[in-house]
Amino acid sequence: MAAERVPPARAAGHTRLRFEGVLALAGLALCWQIASYFFPPFLFPSIPAIAERFAGIFVHAAPLGDALATAGRILLGLAGSFVLGSLLALLMGRSDTFHRYAYPLLNFNQGIPALSWVVVSIIWFRGIEFRIFFIMVMTTLPGFSFQLLDAYRAMSKDLLEMTLSFRPTRLDLLRTLVLPTVVPGILTAWKVNLGNAARVVVVAELVGATGGVGYELLQQQQLFDMAGAIAWTIVLVVFVLVVQRVLTLIERRQLRYRPLAERGS
């Protein structure tokens, strides 16, 4: 297959967007650095001080372990929520009776704040890791379920009937019709839930955890160490951006058959 060519206008737009993004971040850093000259360090630490704390996280075993622990909790929680959400979406899509019972429960769950699940998990469970996993699953489950249900129901009935006319096996039907239909919804659900999961895991780690980004943020708050707090926040942001980039690359590869205008940037 010939290599895909990106239109010059689209490539120029991506370049301009990246340039403007870098320029905006540089402007924010400059404003912060100027503020550091007029305010005490516990309010506005200098950019070099924040950079030093950020680099220190990756050169010492203990803080690096905390960063990796949070990353693992996010990915494990999202994986568990994705599996359960996929099952619920499939059952709701195949059974109207199940849908009538499950959909209101998921809607109700969507309105419960993460802090409430933190309190419930502390009362119900003793293990810290299982508490965090439970909180992650319960807060991201509706997003996965609804997104995958919408993707499943978006499947063309005409294409389904045409495909069934060839008497395909279940594996062939899954490979040629179901997966191409639901994969965009799956990737979108992961990208949406990733940011939500990053916020939720910090809240979960603030209560009872003995490691992780949330735990470290609590330590910085108790010490009034703004440089450390900003550094740990950037660690979490960088992780989210890296995973989102990986998801975008997967999306481009898996959906390369679609018109360029329909794909994510």
Specify if 11 maps to a domain. no
pLDDT in tens, 204-263: 887 767 788 888 888 888 888 899 899 999 999 999 999 988 888 887 876 666 654 455
pLDDT of residue 25: 83
Which residues does 145 contact at the CB level (< 8 Å), separation at least 6? 85, 88, 89, 92, 102, 106
* Number of domains within the chain: 1
Specify if 225 maps to a domain. yes
Does the pLDDT value for residue 3 go beyond 50? no
Neighbours of 77 (CB within 10 A): 24
Residue 84 token pair: 């359960």
Which residues does 50 contact at the CB level (< 8 Å), separation at least 6? 227, 230, 231, 234
Q: How confident is the model at residue 192 (pLDDT cuts 50, 70, 90)?
A: confident
Task: Output the average pLDDT for the chain.
Answer: 81
- Domain containing 180 equals 47-260
pLDDT in tens, 155-188: 666 666 566 666 666 666 666 666 667 777 788 8
pLDDT of residue 261: 43
pLDDT of residue 20: 77
pLDDT of residue 189: 86
Does the pLDDT value for residue 28 go beyond 60? yes
Return the percentage of the chain with pLDDT > 90, whole number: 20
How far are the Cα atoms of 151, 175, 187 from residue 171, in angstroms, in the given order?
A: 19, 6, 21
Specify if 42 maps to a domain. no
Average pLDDT over residues 77-95: 90
| Residue 51's CATH number | 1.10.3720.10
Q: Diameter of the chain by CA atoms?
A: 74
* 3-class SS letters over 88-118: HHHHHHHCHHHHHHHHHHHHHHHCCCHHHHH
